[in-house]
Structure 1
């Protein structure tokens, strides 16, 4: 789900959607809490905005880490295939390309 979609349901105080990645769950719970605290007058708009910036930053970092993990998982699967099928020069090249691309990605 996108941040906008998560915000829309968090603002309504709805139950957290099923199947969210951990970084999405954290974002949703934090956002719902901020909306509820603001609605109850426990925090100001300025405080909510400042805290929301931190929540968004954590979301983006979590999203990047999640995607990186999923790419590394793909590499692991390719390595398992390589081990099971024996060494194949085309497969080896694809694996090495994938690993190289992952290691040289910008954070």
Structure 2
């Protein structure tokens, strides 16, 4: 089941205080970026954030699940998606810990 654009827009709006956030459509679902860094996914109208040590400590009681079959588990954020301040802080600290993407090789 693909995610709704309305839900994607809601999530991007909720985390607008975490910097420049963009959502890119991929295979009917969405990848979330802060600048160049991929930090999360929206799949089946659920928010998944890449796991980091600081994110785990910030969340406390973490729920992990794969965003799609065969994927590595990510933090599943359900109950706190309406808390704009909390969600923005989670994204901000998680993005700070994630590495920059590796440069693409030229053909």
TM-score (norm 1): 0.30
The structure that is strand-richer by fraction is 2
TM-score (norm 2): 0.30
